[in-house]
A and B are shown apart, each in its own frame.
Chain A
């Protein structure tokens, strides 16, 4: 089956006078690992909470697995896994009891997979949840959300506050099951996401600035350095250039629509006396910082 497992159209949400989502149009393709990135307060968690029918009172439409989010019920939840930062857990249960508690609710609960996950995470099943570290609790939450082979997994800031080892284990578990599911992950941890996300969406002030495949994003962003005898800030640059800065002998900018030939031609036109042009691909983190700063400047 193809198509989008998550579709929102003109999704708007406000808390009092504060607009959190402002006409969000989001499509998450089936089978993708979609990273929703954006600065704090951009509306990432709110989006996920609406998708899980935790928040109501939104305008527009939002559907998950073909079901309008406000109508999401037990049968829908049986097909979705949700792990969020700050999610409360029953402290008096042990890790083993927690997993055993959920088993009967999912017809597709796979005990063998549960065992695999437990082996991978090395979870202490006999300890009460309240005595476990944050990392352990997140791993239990993930294990209990992967064991029933959900069609869709929503992860809200799952890496926040986790040590590198736990992050690796977390990512490993996710990737081991990525083929059969769709993952929507909101995170600040861009380096982690970059290693496995297939799609990325940038959310800023409740609006989706772009949404595309990771490979395409990496292709079109370049950090360019033009060396001149005497650097200057040109009065007019192409709209696809952002963060243009001039040093003593260097002009730096980010090309957001990289196309080797076209970009080279534009550079030659604007800086005919350029001595040297250096082009570097950008990691996701740099792209995010560039876009966030550009958006802030525009605002």
Chain B
């Protein structure tokens, strides 16, 4: 341990300038966060304004510090001064990790504590969230840089590797098809998880063996793997989501009931915007939900329309079905291609629609004064703020996924409230990343103006209980 401290002190002596720059930026950034909650929103969404710049500069400064630390004892090559000295790789790696923990993660956590205290958030209950965020932030921000540094001989090579691997990740993400918004959090979390775990493993391996060529190949493969998570089949992505269900439910909970009645696919069905298809409206209803639970359709996962062994490979794939509600009846609007209908005129079709559903527990309604604070279940202490937009910020806390929907009204909430919070989101604990802000700001609203500085926000909070896959199956549907 003495030698680890010795190495740590050496690293501090030789990288103090980078460390000082990073700490100054953290201080400046924290100072701006003292001003207003709105500035946090700016920093979070826009990346513009001083906060956004400070946030970017901070990440750059911490990354540079991380790179300089690793490159003080470069791993590739056989001419490095330290290779034939009695340093154990565990000591070297521990010293680097300690520097990052004590002089990057800890100052960030302290800044967060200071901001939260300044804003009147009680620390009780929030400390674990702050620590968790600091650890995740350090892992997500520094490990990829440390990985690139561990396979670089010098700063120039590090920059090239960062640009190369970062560029590859970016290209792969762009090239990969967009995952359904509902599974975006899985893609993000899995991608992040793979990056953190993989980078950590490769760095440790590189320190232990210094097999740089293999390390470089492994780093490349890691980026390919993490960058193509979006290309994973929907069945895998949603399989992971189902595995994350807080409450196990059996197949009888939430079943689709199809009431065809006299539904047939008429040739006279109006054409859609996509001229190659006709729309079939199928009445459906969800049954078997526990008392107080609600369910929301999340995504399609497996659509097949066939007749006489022939499959309609076009319409439903190119233009996915939609679910709508009219006169207290739900419908699936399923497009079927005209070619398919013509081929099987007077025949019968079999339809299978795989759906992913989110089952929510009983909703809780909360009220919160505009520009006030409230304890929201599962989210901890939150504050609202209005300027040109309404935002709600919650202090960091480790929490399971919550879904929130809100309305804001001067009096009682009406159907047409002046503000409806943006699309309700479900967030995992990892979704706190990568903000340097100490406040999680998951909920923003549109439509408010500075005139609305009074009144109450009515919030409806639901906790996801389970993610399930349910199929809508129709056999022998006549085609006329």
A residues near B (Cβ < 8 Å) are 49, 52, 54-55, 73-75, 77-78, 80, 82, 84, 86-90, 92-93, 97, 101-102, 104-106
Would B3 and A78 count as touching, CB distance under 8 A?
A: no
Would A101 and B10 count as touching, CB distance under 8 A?
A: yes
Smallest CB–CB gap between A277 and chain B, Å? Answer: 51
Chain B hits for A84, CB < 8 A: 79
User: Which A residue sits closest to B77, measured CB to CB?
Assistant: A88
Residue B267 lies at the interface, judged by CB distance under 8 Å to chain A? no
How far, in angstroms, from A89 to B82 measured CA to CA in the complex? 8
Would B87 and A105 count as touching, CB distance under 8 A?
A: yes
Would B80 and A88 count as touching, CB distance under 8 A?
A: yes
Would B81 and A105 count as touching, CB distance under 8 A?
A: no
Chain A hits for B72, CB < 8 A: 90
Chain B hits for A73, CB < 8 A: 88
Most A CB atoms within 10 A — which of B3, B6, B80, B81? B81
Which B76-91 residues sit within 8 Å CB-CB of chain A?
77-81, 83-88
Q: Mind listing 16 A-B residue pairs with CB under 8 Å?
A: A49-B78, A54-B78, A75-B86, A86-B79, A87-B79, A87-B81, A88-B74, A89-B81, A90-B72, A104-B2, A104-B3, A104-B6, A105-B3, A105-B85, A105-B86, A105-B87
Q: Which 5 A-B pairs have the closest CB atoms?
A: A74-B86, A78-B86, A54-B78, A82-B84, A77-B86
User: Which B residue sits closest to A105, measured CB to CB?
Assistant: B86
How far, in angstroms, from A86 to B81 measured CA to CA in the complex? 10
User: Which B residue sits closest to A107, measured CB to CB?
Assistant: B86
How far, in angstroms, from A82 to B88 measured CA to CA in the complex? 17
Residue B399 lies at the interface, judged by CB distance under 8 Å to chain A? no
- A77-B85 in contact given A54-B78, A93-B14, A101-B10 (Cβ < 8 Å): yes
Would B84 and A80 count as touching, CB distance under 8 A?
A: yes
Would B14 and A52 count as touching, CB distance under 8 A?
A: no
How far, in angstroms, from A286 to B86 measured CA to CA in the complex? 40
Q: Which of A49, A54, A55, A102 contacts B85 (CB 8 A)?
A: A102
Smallest CB–CB gap between B155 and chain A, Å? Answer: 12
Would B87 and A74 count as touching, CB distance under 8 A?
A: yes
How far, in angstroms, from A75 to B10 measured CA to CA in the complex? 22
Chain B hits for A102, CB < 8 A: 85
Would B78 and A55 count as touching, CB distance under 8 A?
A: yes
Would B84 and A77 count as touching, CB distance under 8 A?
A: yes
Most B CB atoms within 10 A — which of A73, A82, A88? A88
Smallest CB–CB gap between B225 and chain A, Å? Answer: 27
- A54-B83 in contact given A90-B72, A92-B14, A104-B3 (Cβ < 8 Å): yes
Which B1-60 residues sit within 8 Å CB-CB of chain A?
2-3, 6, 10, 13-14
Chain B hits for A101, CB < 8 A: 6, 10
Chain A hits for B85, CB < 8 A: 77, 102, 105
Instruction: Return the CB mask of B58-81 against A: 1 if under 8 Å, else 0.
Output: 000000000000001010011111
Smallest CB–CB gap between B8 and chain A, Å? Answer: 12
Q: Which of B3, B74, B84 contacts A54 (CB 8 A)?
A: B84
Chain B hits for A87, CB < 8 A: 79, 81
Would A88 and B79 count as touching, CB distance under 8 A?
A: yes
User: Which B residue sits closest to A154, measured CB to CB?
Assistant: B84
User: Which B residue sits closest to A45, measured CB to CB?
Assistant: B78
Chain A hits for B84, CB < 8 A: 52, 54, 77, 80, 82
Chain B hits for A49, CB < 8 A: 78
How far, in angstroms, from A55 to B211 measured CA to CA in the complex? 11
How far, in angstroms, from A14 to B79 measured CA to CA in the complex? 19
Smallest CB–CB gap between B93 and chain A, Å? Answer: 14
User: Which A residue sits closest to B15, measured CB to CB?
Assistant: A92
16 new A-B pairs (CB below 8 Å) besides A77-B85, A78-B86? A54-B78, A54-B83, A54-B84, A77-B84, A84-B79, A86-B79, A88-B79, A88-B80, A88-B81, A90-B14, A92-B14, A97-B13, A101-B6, A104-B6, A105-B3, A105-B86
Most A CB atoms within 10 A — which of B3, B14, B72, B84? B84
How far, in angstroms, from A106 to B6 measured CA to CA in the complex? 13
How far, in angstroms, from A78 to B84 measured CA to CA in the complex? 9
User: Which B residue sits closest to A106, measured CB to CB?
Assistant: B86
How far, in angstroms, from A73 to B88 measured CA to CA in the complex? 8
Chain A hits for B2, CB < 8 A: 104
Would A90 and B81 count as touching, CB distance under 8 A?
A: yes
